[in-house]
Amino acid sequence: MDKKDLRIVYMGTPEFAVESLKRLVEGGYNIVGVITMPDKPMGRHGSVLQPSPVKQYAVSQGLKVLQPEKLKNEEFVAELRSLNADLQIVVAFRMLPEVVWSMPRLGTFNLHASLLPQYRGAAPINWAVINGDTETGITTFFLKHEIDTGEIIDQVRVPIADTDNVEVVYERLMRLGGDLVLKTVDAILEGSVKTIPQEELAQVGELRPAPKIFKETCRIDWTIGVKRIYDFVRGLSPYPAAWTELYQEGSDPIMLKIFETEKLFCEHSLAPGTIVTDCKTYFKIASSDGYVNVLSLQLAGKKRMEINDFLRGYRHTEKAYVK
């Protein structure tokens, strides 16, 4: 079968999913439908509806778009079936019911931003960086009942540098994901796919999950040590961002988002969270085995700023600390 005859339904929502869809469209593949999340209410009163990045791209290319509230809805299922897809591709979407993923004759495959079976879940890129991993990757696999457990089609390994934040890794995986999606579609077209059950892949160490990240997940624990705090900050930078609260005598606590730090290992006798600063060039926060030197941050309601700009307006008190 020629790629122009292969009927593909594509499912995805965020920017990460746009790259693979774009590569398929530009490669001349036959996209017969795009499934994405309903438009999101925005603005003060939720009166403005914001389409997903995938919808915006699909509309710009004149592709058919479906936005079901519920994936088991009978009308949606009937409309999806009418598209008569040979193959479905899922990139950063939702958990699919069997009635959806089992529909096409060639199956449904997912692009996941980790080296499965590591980091099954909603936030694999964040957790790989937070945990200080030196390698991650992308995986294509066929969907089955349990989330992120289907048989592996292909994988690409990607190094993580100690200076990389989640944005850098995200961009790298997004581009490589486009390559891998096309490679996987071509292998399915050629009938050359040889899948591997995830339990047969050799693993070093324990399997780590990648659960969804909430606001409280992002709060910094200043007791866990300099390296772990450093990785935690870059694993959430620039979004949703690690945060802490600044406490000063006579003032209400102030929320600080922290985007970039450096590691300073040394012995000291200060309590974790204690602030050490010259009020001009450095803003160090004590941990158990040294200091985390903050390089850029953001006050609630303000823009992100470099530390010297922050310190120009900062009035240090003797008992200032963060927690």
- The pTM is what? 0.95
Question: Is 173 assigned a ligand-binding role in the annotation?
Answer: no
pLDDT at 45 over 90: no
pLDDT at 22 over 90: yes
Q: Which long-range contacts (CB under 8 A, 24 or more apart) does 124-127 make?
A: 124/210, 125/166, 125/169, 125/170, 125/173, 126/166, 126/210, 126/213, 126/235, 126/236, 127/208, 127/209, 127/210, 127/211, 127/235
Alpha-carbon gap, residue 267 to 291, rounded angstroms: 9
Class of domain 7-200: alpha beta
Question: Is 115 assigned a ligand-binding role in the annotation?
Answer: yes
Task: Output the average pLDDT for the chain.
Answer: 95
- Tell me which H or E stretch contains 54: helix 53-60
- pLDDT for 134-152, tens place per residue? 999 999 999 988 888 899 9
pLDDT (average), residues 298-308: 95
Query: What pLDDT is recorded for position 2?
Result: 86
- pLDDT for 153-185, tens place per residue? 999 999 999 999 999 999 999 999 999 999 999
All CATH 3.10.25.10 domain ranges of the chain, comma separated, are: 216-322
User: What is 216-322's CATH number?
Assistant: 3.10.25.10
All CATH 3.40.50.170 domain ranges of the chain, comma separated, are: 7-200
- pLDDT for 208-233, tens place per residue? 999 999 999 999 999 999 999 999 99
- pLDDT for 231-281, tens place per residue? 999 999 999 999 999 999 888 999 999 999 999 999 999 999 999 999 999
Burial of 13 per CB tally in 10 Å (0-12, 13-18, 19+): buried
Question: Is 97 assigned a ligand-binding role in the annotation?
Answer: no
Question: β-pairing, 275-277 with 283-287?
Answer: antiparallel
pLDDT (average), residues 80-94: 97
More confident residue, 299 or 2: 299
Q: How confident is the model at residue 318 (pLDDT cuts 50, 70, 90)?
A: confident
